[in-house]
Amino acid sequence: MAEKSGVRFEEAENNKGIVITSIAIVCTILACLVQSSNTMLGAVAILATYMMTGDRYQWVYIWRKTFSRDTLGLWVLLRTMFRIWIWEKRGTTVVARWAEVAKMAPDKKAFVMNDRALTFREGEEFSNRIAWYFKRQGFKSGEVIALFMETQPEYVFLWLGLAKMRVTTALVNNSLRGAQLVYCLKIAGCKAVVFGNEMAGAIKEIQNEIRDMPLFQYNSPDNPDSPVLEDTSALSTELNEMSTDPFIDVEPAKPRDTLLYIYTSGTTGFPKAAIITNIRFLLIPLGVYISAHLNPSDVIYDPLPLHHTAGGVLGAGQALVNGCTVTLRKKFSASNYWSDAAKNGCTVAQYIGEICRYLLAVPPGPNDRAHKVRVIVGNGLRPQIWEEFIKRFGVKRVLEFYGATEGNSNLVNMDSKVGAIGFLSRMVSSIYPLTLVKCDEITGEIMRDSNGKCISCGPHEPGVLLGKIDKKKAILTFAGYADKTASEKKMVRNVKVDGDCYFNTGDILVMDHFGYFYFKDRTGDTFRWRGENVSTAEVEAVISTLIGLKDAVVYGVKIPNVEGKAGMAAIADPDKRVDLNQLAKGLKSLPAYARPLFLRIMPAPPLTVTFKLKKKELMEQGFTLNQHDDPMYFLDQKSGEYVPLTQKLYDDILQGVIRL
C-alpha cells in the first residue's frame, strides 16, 4: 500500500513540478527584463524559482497535505508532555493521581464486570485494606509481590494497595504454568505470591519450587467458598479485619520509582519482566485519552487481560488516571464483543493483535451496530480488513497506535489513515526523535556507514525503528527490564552522534513521503528464499484473507543443502475445511519466492495472551514428519497445487530428488 501511494505521489509531483518550474522560469526571465534597479521584483522571482524547483516543491506539497495533521499531532504531543511535566514536578505518582480521581465522583462505577461493579469509593477502601494488611505482614518498600489472577474488578486495586506501601507488583500472565511460571516469579525477585482461587491448581504444581515465597489466596466474591490451598493465607477473609482508613506512607513514592513489572509476551522464549514506573503508567492512558478526545463520561470496553499493558495500563488506566468507567471481561469473546459493549453503554472499545479479524469472522448479526462505540483504540488492525471493519460495525474513528510495553518509541494514527500505525511530521521531525535506520532484515543487524553511524532510511525504504533515550524527559526514558543484561541488548549507541543512545524496537517499518508509518515485519521473522526477502506478516495477511480470516502463521524452514529458508504456513482450521486448491490459486498473487512450500493444518492457533501468533515451537518442528499429528502438505512444483507430504515425498525433498 505504501509503495503504491509513493508511486502516485511521485507521478503527481513530476507533473506539477514541470508546470510550476516552467512558470517560475518564465517569471524569472520577465523579472530580468525589468529595469535592473527593480531589485525587489528580481529577488522575488529568484526566490520563487528556488522554492518551486526540484525537491523544494515536494516539501511545499508535503507541508500543504500534512499541515492540519501535524498541527493536531503537535497539540496532542505538547499537551501530553506538559501534563506529564507538571505531574513529575509535583511528585505525582499513580497512587497520588488516583487519590485525586477517586474524590471527583466517589459513587461512580470504576470497574464493571458481568453483574458486579466496584465504585471509586469501594476501590479506594479495598486498596486501603490491602495496604494495611501487607504492612501488618511485614512487607517493606522496594520488595516485589507477584499477582497471579484472572481478570476481575478487584485486580487493579490489589496492586494499587501494594503500591500505597511502595511495594512493586509483578503482574504474572495467568496462562503460565510449570517452569515458565517459576521463572517469571524468580526473575522479578518476588517475595510472595497473591493468587486467585482459580489459579490454585497452577500454584499447587510448583509449590515445592517456591517454598520460600509466602502464598496468599484471594477468593473472588463470585466464588467466596473456594477451598484455600494448604500452607496459604486466606486473604479475602483476613482482609475483613483491616481498616478502610486512608493509608499514608511515611515516605511517599517518586514518579520514577518502579510501580509494576509487566512481562513481555514471550513469542520467542521466556518472558522478560519490563519495568513500569509511575510516570510511564500515567503517560500511557493520558496519551490515549488526549489523542482520542475522551472525557470522564466515556465508558471503556476492555476485554483484554489485566496483566498486560494494553488491558491493564492503557485500558484500566482510564479509570485510575482519568476517571472513566471501564467494563472488563474475563476472556475475550468475538461473538459477545459488540453485545457486551452495547449492554454496558460503552463509547470506546479496545482491540489488539488479531481481535478485529476475529470480529469480522463472526457472521453478521443485529449486534454489529447496536452499540454506542464511536472510537476503537489499539494496535494490529490489518490494512486488508480496515475499511471493511469500520463499514460493517459503524465505528467512526480508529485510533491505531504503535508501542511496546517497555519502549519509548510510540506512534499514533490520529486521522484514521488506513493501514498506518502512526506518523511523524516530515517538517519538524526533531520534536519527537524517532528514526528509521537500515538493517539486515534477516538478522536484524543494524547497518552503519564509514563513520560508524547508522544509515537513515528514506521514504519507502524499510528499516528498524529506533527511539532516542533521554533520561531528562519522561516521555523518552527507557526503564528497561528486571534483567539488566536484557536491558542493555535493547540499546543502540552512537546512532547519529558519538555518545547518543536509542531504544531498538526490533520492528521493521516503512515510512511514506507524508510521514505515515506502516508495519512491515519483526526483525528475525523475515526470511530469505531464492535470493529474496520474504515478509511473514505480508504473507500471513494474504493467506488469512484467502481462508476466511482464519489464523495463519508463516515462518521459514531450513532444507538440507538448500540455500535460504523455504516458506511454511501453519493454518488453524479445526473443521479441516480449507480448500487447498483455492488457496494455491489465490497465493499466485504473491511472487513465486513468497509462496509457502509447506502447509500444516492445526486444530487451534498458537496464540499469546495478546493475540499474537507464536512461532518458535513451529519453526523448531519445521516440516519434519512424526513430530505431531497435524496433516502437512507440499506445493508441487509442476502442478502448482498442494499435495500431502508423504514419507517418500519428504525423503525426496531431503535428498534433493525434487528440485526446488
Domain assignment present for residue 354? The answer is no
As a whole number, mean pLDDT of residues 290-298 equals: 97
Domain assignment present for residue 333? The answer is no
Residue type, 444: G
- Structural contact between residues 258 and 60, judged by C-beta atoms closer than 8 angstroms: no
Domain assignment present for residue 487? The answer is yes
pLDDT value, residue 258: 96
Domain assignment present for residue 644? The answer is yes
Triad 66, 69, 72: Cα angle to 5°:
145
pLDDT range class, residue 590, cuts 50, 70, 90? confident
**Residue 348 predicted with pLDDT over 70:** yes
pLDDT value, residue 180: 83
Domain assignment present for residue 379? The answer is no
Quote the number of domains for the chain.
4
Same domain, 28 and 176: no
Same domain, 445 and 546: no
**Residue 44 predicted with pLDDT over 80:** no
pLDDT range class, residue 616, cuts 50, 70, 90? confident
Domain assignment present for residue 194? The answer is yes
Q: Write down the residue that cell numbers 509513493 correspond to.
A: 6
pLDDT value, residue 656: 82
Q: Any idea what the CATH number is for the domain that residue 539 is in?
A: 3.30.300.30
Instruction: Quote the radius of gyration of the chain (alpha carbons, Å).
Output: 28
pLDDT range class, residue 32, cuts 50, 70, 90? very low
Same domain, 476 and 600: no
Of the two residues 378 and 532, the one the predictor is more confident about is: 378
Same domain, 607 and 649: yes
Same domain, 124 and 195: yes
Domain assignment present for residue 607? The answer is yes
**Residue 166 predicted with pLDDT over 50:** yes
- Structural contact between residues 144 and 190, judged by C-beta atoms closer than 8 angstroms: yes
Domain boundary among 521, 545, 572: 521
Domain boundary among 473, 501, 521: 521
pLDDT range class, residue 265, cuts 50, 70, 90? low
**Residue 25 predicted with pLDDT over 70:** no
- Enclosing domain of residue 490: 426-521
Contacts of 589 (CB under 8 A, 6+ apart): 542
Q: 105 — phi, psi (to 5°)?
A: -145, 75
* pLDDT more than 90, % of the chain: 63
pLDDT value, residue 473: 87
**Residue 413 predicted with pLDDT over 90:** yes
Same domain, 471 and 561: no
Same domain, 113 and 210: yes
Same domain, 514 and 529: no
Domain boundary among 261, 280, 299: 280
**Residue 28 predicted with pLDDT over 70:** no
- Structural contact between residues 124 and 164, judged by C-beta atoms closer than 8 angstroms: no
Of the two residues 256 and 4, the one the predictor is more confident about is: 256
- Structural contact between residues 565 and 529, judged by C-beta atoms closer than 8 angstroms: yes
Q: Any idea what the CATH number is for the domain that residue 181 is in?
A: 3.40.50.980
- Structural contact between residues 516 and 414, judged by C-beta atoms closer than 8 angstroms: no
Same domain, 129 and 241: yes
Return mean pLDDT, the chain: 87
Domain assignment present for residue 470? The answer is yes
List, in sequence order, every beta strand (DSSP E) within 408-561: 411-412, 422-423, 434-437, 463-468, 491-493, 501-511, 516-522, 527-529, 532-534, 552-558
Same domain, 466 and 577: no
pLDDT range class, residue 157, cuts 50, 70, 90? very high
**Residue 456 predicted with pLDDT over 70:** yes
Same domain, 265 and 138: yes
Of the two residues 626 and 335, the one the predictor is more confident about is: 335
Q: What is the pLDDT of residues 514-525, one digit of tens each?
A: 999 999 887 778
pLDDT value, residue 353: 79
Q: What is the value of pTM for the model shown?
A: 0.80
**Residue 138 predicted with pLDDT over 50:** yes
**Residue 421 predicted with pLDDT over 90:** yes
As a whole number, mean pLDDT of residues 570-593 equals: 87
Same domain, 478 and 614: no
Angle, helices 2-33 vs 55-90, to 10°: value is 120
